């Protein structure tokens, strides 16, 4: 457990911060006066975001960490590099996906998706709660998907990876129900990000924007410990929920 967290400056870690949901979440937390540690592969985008943020919020400390979270070695190196910082909130937003039926799937893309969506999320969640589970005021938020609560025919590997994220996070929340830390999962529907692709402009116009999803995440962040899931339902409405998946006591 981390000692003396309130004697240090606190930070919010956001992975996948260079674009899309993570980018907008960075702005949302900066507006709240939170010091940020921004993580992504694309260093130039991170630096550009940092420049904009420090111009708008010069009183904040904004750190950038360039890291490929699909590489397990870099995952451990990232966390180790942050042990000197007091991390109030950790947001595992980085993820990738595919949209092909499994019979047509690119195995290299599936392997990368498993490393990022499953492995990195699991490792970073575990490392964080080992250090911060008993620290008041801390939160772990993992970004899943509404597709992580259904079987999405034609997109099964992605759906399964996000189901893993949902099950992992809900299970961890159940394990830590009596601990001070809050553990939550955000499950947005398809969002108008780079993931959708430039060819689907009409589709993008019908989806939630990354800024809207960042607002959903803030609602989840502000909710009390009884709330575990923030999910967009089949009517495209955002709902805060208690645990959705059944759990069984040990």
- Over residues 119-133, the pLDDT tens digits come to 999 999 999 999 999
Q: Where in the chain are the domains?
A: 5-241
CATH code of domain 5-241 = 3.40.50.720
Contacts of 100 (CB under 8 A, 6+ apart): 106, 154, 155
pLDDT tens by residue, 195-219? 555 434 444 555 789 999 999 999 9
SS3 179: coil
pTM for this entry: 0.91
Question: Nearest 5°: phi and psi at 104?
Answer: -110, 5
Angstrom distance (rounded) from CA 119 to CA 201? 32
Residues listed for the chain: 250
* C-alpha 143, offset from chain centre: 4
Write down the residue that tokens 């699909």 correspond to: 70
- The overall average pLDDT reported for the chain is 90
């Amino acid at each position: 457990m981390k000692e003396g967290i309130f004697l240090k400056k606190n930070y919010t870690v956001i992975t996948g911060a260079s674009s899309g949901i993570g980018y907008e979440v960075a702005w949302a937390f900066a507006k709240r006066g939170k010091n940020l540690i921004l993580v992504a592969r694309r260093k130039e985008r991170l630096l550009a975001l940092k420049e904009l943020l420090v111009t708008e919020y010069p009183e904040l400390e904004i750190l950038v960490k360039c890291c490929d979270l699909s590489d397990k070695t870099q995952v451990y190196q990232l966390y180790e590099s942050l042990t000197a910082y007091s991390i109030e909130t950790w947001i595992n937003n980085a993820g990738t996906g595919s949209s092909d039926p499994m019979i047509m799937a690119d195995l290299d893309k599936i392997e990368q998706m498993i490393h990022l969506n499953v492995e990195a999320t699991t490792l970073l969640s575990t490392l964080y709660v080992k250090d911060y589970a008993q620290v008041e005021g801390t939160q772990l938020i993992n970004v899943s998907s509404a597709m992580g609560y259904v079987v999405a025919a034609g997109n099964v590997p992605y759906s399964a990876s996000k189901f893993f994220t949902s099950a992992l996070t809900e299970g961890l929340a159940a394990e830590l129900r009596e601990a001070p830390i809050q553990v939550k999962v955000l499950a947005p529907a398809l969002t108008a990000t780079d993931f959708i692709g430039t060819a689907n402009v009409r589709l993008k116009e019908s989806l939630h924007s990354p800024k809207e999803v960042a607002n959903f995440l803030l609602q989840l962040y502000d909710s009390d410990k009884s709330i575990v899931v923030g999910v967009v339902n089949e009517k495209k409405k955002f709902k805060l929920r208690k645990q959705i998946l059944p759990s069984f006591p040990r």
